[in-house]
Amino acid sequence: MEKWCALRFFSRRGSETWTARFPGSVQRLRIEPNVLDHVRRFRQSKLSAAEAGGQLFGTVTSELVQVSGVSGPHRGDERSRYSFRSDPRAAQRKINRFAARGLAYLGEWHTHAEEIPRPSGSDLGAIREIVDRSQLNTSTVVLLIIGLAEPDADVGVWYVGPLGDFLSLT
């Protein structure tokens, strides 16, 4: 059973950079404006819009997990109004390309057709599968979901904690 822990999510006024502190740690998560701008382009604001998603990339230090790169959606993704599954071959190609530029794979993003996004059971299962089956270069795996609310309230962020549990930063 997953354990959830909440933390208030912070944004700086006048900036699109999002920052949150990981509970019990000096390490922060920062999502850069280019990443949020890219993801928000695929918001499901129309009734006919399908979920979209992709991968998150960046760097990790003892003080900061910086999400500065993003990919997706990919042509071969499975997409519907209420589900999304990334094309694994296209995702791996992007992971390899970003790694060649010095950016590590940090997790996944996708959209939800709800105001305030929350991960579904299949979202959590997909992240669990990534953690269990992948050779990751970092201990941080992030799930970013964009909903329909106004910016600042439209972002949901979860991560896999040190004990393998899913924790919320929103």
How many Å separate Cα 90 from the centre of its chain?
17
Enumerate helices (H) and strands (E) in the chain, giving the number of each: 3, 11
Beta bridge partners of 146: 111, 155
Tally Cβ neighbours within 10 Å of residue 98: 21
Which residue stretches of the chain are H helix?
33-40, 88-100, 121-133
Q: Which residues are catalytic?
A: 51
